Amino acid sequence: MNSKERIIQLREELHRHNHNYYVLNAPVITDYEFDVLLRELQDLEEANPDMYDETSPTMRVGSDITKEFRQIAHKYPMLSLGNTYSKAEVAEFYDRIKKNLNEDFELCCELKFDGTSISLTYVGGKLVQAVTRGDGEKGDDVTANVKTIRSVPLVLSGSGYPHEFEIRGEVLMPWTVFEKLNEERAAVGEQPFANPRNAASGTLKLQDSSVVSKRSLDAYLYFMLGEDLPSGTHYGNLEKARAWGFKISSLTRKCSTLDDVFSFIDYIDEERKNLPYATDGIVLKVNSIRQQRKLGYTSKSPRWAIAYKFQAERAVTRLNEVTYQVGRTGVVTPVANLDPVQLSGTVVKRASLHNSDIIEKFDLHIGDMVYVEKGGEIIPKITGVDVEARFMVGEKVRFITKCPQCGTPLVRADGEAAHYCPNSATCPPQIKSRIEHFVSRDAMNIESIGPESVELLFNYGLVKNISDIYKLSLEDLMFLPRMGQRSAENVIEAVNKSLDVPFERVLFALGIRFVGATVAKRLVRAFGNIDDLMNATYEQLVEVEEIGERIAASVMEFFANETNRELVENLRNAGLRFEVCQEAAVAVSDKLKGLSIVVSGVFSLHSRDEYKRLIEDNGGKNVGSVSKSTSFILAGENMGPSKLEKAKKLGVRIVDEEEFLAML
């Protein structure tokens, strides 16, 4: 057998072993034997570059090549599901389906995985593209990272699959992997992930697919789309997908009656505590694809499917200590440190107390037995105290008066629940959080600098404030741990690229309290450049649409600080944009000034986000619901029936894409 024949043989063998181990959970060789075969394949492929194949098992190892995630439009919109929280609401959904179909039907009941949604496209039996949900209309191309997930087939088994189809599912991080990852992060002083969903989502967006490979993500698939599907039922298509090598949950049931559905809900509500991954409910789907088409869609979700969400689990445990965290804007959050307790599949040791009012409300004492819940199965929180169990408890918990990091006296503004540290200039956690915010995607989008890099740059004294980012050199970076020449070059390239970021995102990146992305756009539109904004009076600020007293006071306070003004000058000298560029100024008009517009439906010429941006750029205001003050509805296909009915009742005008674009 020559080298090329051996490569083909090894690929087939390793694909089969991957499926046995990660999908069937029935390995037939040891990990060591698998690694020996994989190493042999890697060596042969390096010696035979003409045999490159993007679906080779060696692709699962990943690479350290930094890249940008391209935005890919979904062929079929990834809609969200309506949520129910009671069996009564499930019964209403069932009766509504029964009335609208007026014929017999089945429901397919399956787990609602608590991970991050993914859409996989296969052509000719090979994985060609993996895209995140994004905004439902477009998402990020994360194909290289998804190829490292062992339970995702790179090449399909068997036969009978369409030449091209899409299959959707959830990328998950198992509880055991999640807990190990958080232990590793805590050991090196990094912030632990709040939950497996955040960990899975964050991992999937890492620039280094070799790191993704090491985090042992998993993936369950649950929905197939395409023009030539093998079955006329949802359940039938899942069974076919299982035969082709996809990981399909065995906890999927066909239900013919409402009692069947309720029995499944009760069973999963108990069984989910034993599952190796996070779930927060079940999904009910009409099984027949013909009936799905008959029922159709609203603007946001299919009428033939709904999610039933479980109530949050509750546990009781002992309060041992209250510590305090300082956020980017200086807000101080109390955290309860607890005796470890099992909750929703993971061990909980800490829970949020939110603010001083919550501490006072519960009259907390060290040693109290407290009730803990996971709000939405995500972040644990204290919801009460077992007062009857209060016996020989410690001292009463009192909110601190000074910043736990820098010792500055805390302040609490009138009408606000939070205390915050006003020392934004030198308080370490504020500085680091502000740098993380500055480099984030919606701000300066410096992708090569993540939380770990921020920690390194700050600890080594290279970046003490955000303007220092633009003073970094290759020589500075290459001396940092785990930072080679290629990584250092990527950082410098990303920093230089950020000089093209428009003014409104630069303003958002500064991290002014209460100035989010939308508020930043309003301020930029009103003042045009940083100098006019810095010198604006209180009266001028509150005249701007959606800028209230609180935001105006925060903006004035920020620019009254000489350190912040110096920061702006340093950033301006570095080349950042602090005025609206001429091209953008030409594109902005006041043609929609004073108009409140609802965007609803699916569009063909532009995406919903693009239409919303056009509305804002031309002086209009996006609103979410129809009311007497709505100027008109920009309507696409499958506009929500409730919005349409309300518009007719109130006499609100309906405008289509062509008419809207003609206005501009």
State whether residue 138 is helix, strand or coil.
strand
DSSP letter, residue 125: T
Q: Which residues contact 97 (CB under 8 A, 6 or more apart)?
A: 105, 107, 286, 295, 304
- Inter-residue contact 79 to 136 (CB < 8 Å): yes
Query: Encoding tokens for residue 292?
Result: 């799905």
Can you tell me the distance from the alpha carbon of 526 to that of 648, in angstroms, rounded to the nearest whole number? 35
| Helical residues (DSSP H) of 363-450, grouped into ranges | 428-439
State whether residue 291 is helix, strand or coil.
helix
Q: Which residues contact 282 (CB under 8 A, 6 or more apart)?
A: 109, 110, 111, 112, 264, 265, 268, 307, 308
**What is the biggest distance separating any 2 CA atoms in the chain, rounded to whole angstroms?**
83
| Sequence letter at residue 475 | E
- For the question of residue 98 being annotated catalytic, the response is no
- Inter-residue contact 127 to 152 (CB < 8 Å): yes
Q: Which residues, listed in sequence order, are joined to residue 306 by a DSSP beta bridge?
A: 284
Distances (CA, A) of 44 to 6, 9, 29, 40, 56: 8, 12, 21, 6, 12
Q: Which of 4, 67, 112, 205 is catalytic?
A: 112
| Sequence letter at residue 66 | T
Q: Which residues, listed in sequence order, are joined to residue 600 by a DSSP beta bridge?
A: 635
Can you tell me the distance from the alpha carbon of 60 to that of 147, in angstroms, rounded to the nearest whole number? 5
Can you tell me the distance from the alpha carbon of 457 to that of 474, in angstroms, rounded to the nearest whole number? 13
Q: What residues are labeled active site?
A: 112
